[in-house]
């Protein structure tokens, strides 16, 4: 069964064809990073317009790369929640229109749940572009503990089976990816913050600055806004300023060595919090597998710390399938197609802020 997956929740327009929920046939991602980096963050209106410009060529290229025409496609899956409303509407309307036009079943998927399904892709076609792709050897086993970490979400979720999961905890304020993006801005590192903090931290000393981690009543909940503010205060102190000094002028006062040390100290603390809580949930629930999902799953420090501290082996999806893509959407769509009826393409509405736990579908 070949499924076309469409993704446009934030600033990536993406489409992909995946066969039987595991074999990658194509993966086309057009990123708007260049457009938004000028503003230091995503501008929703600009994002929506950019999706409109490229959605059709992206879908056509996904079919072409997969050597498919419409007759080969069995169903369409689309991220219809959560995300920026204008961005979501472009992908969802495209998917609805294509489903009606080509008479294909349509499966709406939750974006964060989709990220988890990047871990189910274990094969790829022999296309040149996948030659260096290092995929997991096997699919996650249930019960599976998923650490979902993106620009908008930070959650620990226990999957009992496909579409059957419970939320153990989540962030009470900023998402961890958002904290990376904001700290990068304070330090004068380019957008998006995750990869640039990751790169700067490689040259820094993670123990140079002591930063706090939050204590919360639920051991699986997270909070990152205090850590972000602690970085700001420490940068102010280090440069001899206080809270009255404009924060956007602080970065230029830092030396490269200080910038690298701040990046490393922040990253170490943020990632240690994620790993501590994942380990606590692992001890309490004894899952058969642990997966990481979402853009922050591309973090090298997260992979290092988890590998070192988890008592079981952990496999990672390749970096290119951790950040937003259509393949994860197509893969989740495949599992839905095995268990539930498709949605009505004339009626599907986007859901900008629905949480994953309100969505258990099996
Ligand atoms: O899942 P994603 O591509 O988009 C959302 O659904 O939000 O996640 C984007 C987030 C951004 O906050 C970005 O800074 C972060 O993932 N990110 C990283 C890394 N690569 C991307 N964070 C830490 N380390 C990385 N290497
Ligand atoms: Zn995402």
Task: Count Cβ atoms below 10 Å from residue 89 Cβ, excluding itself.
Answer: 19
Whether ligand 1 lies within 6 angstroms of the CB of 194 is answered as yes
Q: How far is CA 344 from CA 95, 96, 106, 168, in A?
A: 11, 9, 7, 32
Question: Is residue 314 situated within a structural domain?
Answer: no
Mutation pick for ligand 1 pocket among 33, 37, 295, 300 (CB with most ligand atoms within 8 Å)? 295
Residue 70 sits in the same domain as residue 102: yes
| Whether residue 297 has pLDDT greater than 80 | yes
Residue 239 belongs to domain spanning: 144-309
Query: Are the CB atoms for 109 and 135 separated by under 8 Å?
Result: no
- The percent of residues above 70 in pLDDT, for the chain, comes to 100
Residue 222 sits in the same domain as residue 160: yes
Instruction: State the CATH number of the domain containing residue 108.
Output: 3.30.420.40
Last residue of a domain, one of 270, 288, 309: 309
Question: Is residue 271 situated within a structural domain?
Answer: yes
Residue range 188-207, pLDDT digits in tens: 999 999 999 999 999 999 99
Say how many Å lie between the CA of residue 196 and the centre of ligand 1.
10
Residue 269 sits in the same domain as residue 120: no
Residue 239 sits in the same domain as residue 259: yes
Query: Are the CB atoms for 80 and 351 separated by under 8 Å?
Result: yes
Can you tell me whether residue 44 is helix, strand or coil? helix
Mutation pick for ligand 1 pocket among 114, 177, 195, 304 (CB with most ligand atoms within 8 Å)? 177
For residue 91, name the pLDDT band (cuts at 50, 70, 90): very high
Whether ligand 1 lies within 6 angstroms of the CB of 324 is answered as yes
Residue range 269-296, pLDDT digits in tens: 999 999 999 999 999 999 999 999 999 9
Q: What does the alpha-carbon distance between residue 301 and residue 307 come to, in Å, rounded to a whole number?
A: 10
Q: Could you please report the per-residue DSSP string of 296-359? A: GGG-HHHHHHHHHH-SS------HHHHSS-SHHHHHHHHHHHHHSPPB-TTT----TT--GGGG
Q: Which residue has the tokens 């304020």?
A: 173
Residue 21 sits in the same domain as residue 167: no
- Degrees to nearest 5, angle at CA 285 with 284 and 291: 115
Q: Which residue has the tokens 């995300």?
A: 83
Residues 6+ apart with CB under 8 A from 155: 112, 146, 147, 148, 167, 168, 169, 170, 171, 356
Q: Whose CA is nearest to atom 22 of ligand 1?
A: 194
Residue 211 sits in the same domain as residue 63: no
Question: Is residue 188 situated within a structural domain?
Answer: yes
Say how many Å lie between the CA of residue 226 and the centre of ligand 2.
23
Can you tell me whether residue 281 is helix, strand or coil? helix
Ramachandran region, residue 310 (left: φ > 0; alpha: ψ -120 to 50; beta: rest): beta
- The percent of residues above 90 in pLDDT, for the chain, comes to 94
Say how many Å lie between the CA of residue 6 and the centre of ligand 2.
13
Last residue of a domain, one of 309, 330, 345: 309
Number of domains the chain is built from: 2
| Whether residue 58 has pLDDT greater than 90 | yes
Q: Edge-to-edge strand order for the sheet containing 164-170?
A: 164-170, 154-161, 144-149, 289-293
pLDDT of residue 359: 73
Counting atoms of ligand 1 from 1, which one is nearest the CA of 9?
6
Say how many Å lie between the CA of residue 344 and the centre of ligand 1.
32
pLDDT of residue 254: 98
First-to-last alpha carbon distance for the chain, in angstroms, is: 20
Residue 164 sits in the same domain as residue 40: no
Say how many Å lie between the CA of residue 262 and the centre of ligand 2.
26
Whether ligand 1 lies within 6 angstroms of the CB of 10 is answered as yes
For residue 322, name the pLDDT band (cuts at 50, 70, 90): very high
3-state SS of the chain: helix, strand, coil percent to 5?
Answer: 45, 20, 35
């Amino acid at each position: 069964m070949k499924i076309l997956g469409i993704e446009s929740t934030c600033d990536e327009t993406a489409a992909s064809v995946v066969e039987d929920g595991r074999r990658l046939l194509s993966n086309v991602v057009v990123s708007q990073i260049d457009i938004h980096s000028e503003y230091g963050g995503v501008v929703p209106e600009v994002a929506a317009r950019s999706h409109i410009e490229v959605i059709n060529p992206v879908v056509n290229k996904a079919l072409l790369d997969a050597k498919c025409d419409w007759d080969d496609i069995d169903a369409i899956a689309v991220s219809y929640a959560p995300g920026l409303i204008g961005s979501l509407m472009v992908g969802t309307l495209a998917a609805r229109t294509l489903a009606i036009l080509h008479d294909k079943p349509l499966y709406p998927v939750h974006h964060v749940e989709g990220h988890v399904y990047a871990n189910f892709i274990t094969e790829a076609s022999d296309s040149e572009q996948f030659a260096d792709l290092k995929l997991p050897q096997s699919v996650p086993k249930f019960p599976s503990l998923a650490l979902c970490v993106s620009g908008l979400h930070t959650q620990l979720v226990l999957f009992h089976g496909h579409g059957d999961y419970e939320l153990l905890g989540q962030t009470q304020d900023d998402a961890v990816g958002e904290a990376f993006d904001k700290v990068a801005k304070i330090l004068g590192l380019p957008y998006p913050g995750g990869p640039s903090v990751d790169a700067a931290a490689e040259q820094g000393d993670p123990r140079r600055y002591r930063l706090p981690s939050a204590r919360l009543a639920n051991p699986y909940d997270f909070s990152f806004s205090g850590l972000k503010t602690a970085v700001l205060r420490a940068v102010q102190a280090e440069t001899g300023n206080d809270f009255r000094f404009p924060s956007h002028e602080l970065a230029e006062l830092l030396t490269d060595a200080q910038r690298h040390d701040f990046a490393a100290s922040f990253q170490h603390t943020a990632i240690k919090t994620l790993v501590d809580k994942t380990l606590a949930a692992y001890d309490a629930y004894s899952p058969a597998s642990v997966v990481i999902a979402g853009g922050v799953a591309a973090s090298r420090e997260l992979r290092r710390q988890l590998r070192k501290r988890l008592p079981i082996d952990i496999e990672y999806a390749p970096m290119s399938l951790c950040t937003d893509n259509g393949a994860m959407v197509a893969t989740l769509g495949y599992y839905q197609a095995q268990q539930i009826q498709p949605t009505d393409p004339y009626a599907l509405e986007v859901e900008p802020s629905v949480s994953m736990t309100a969505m258990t579908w099996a």
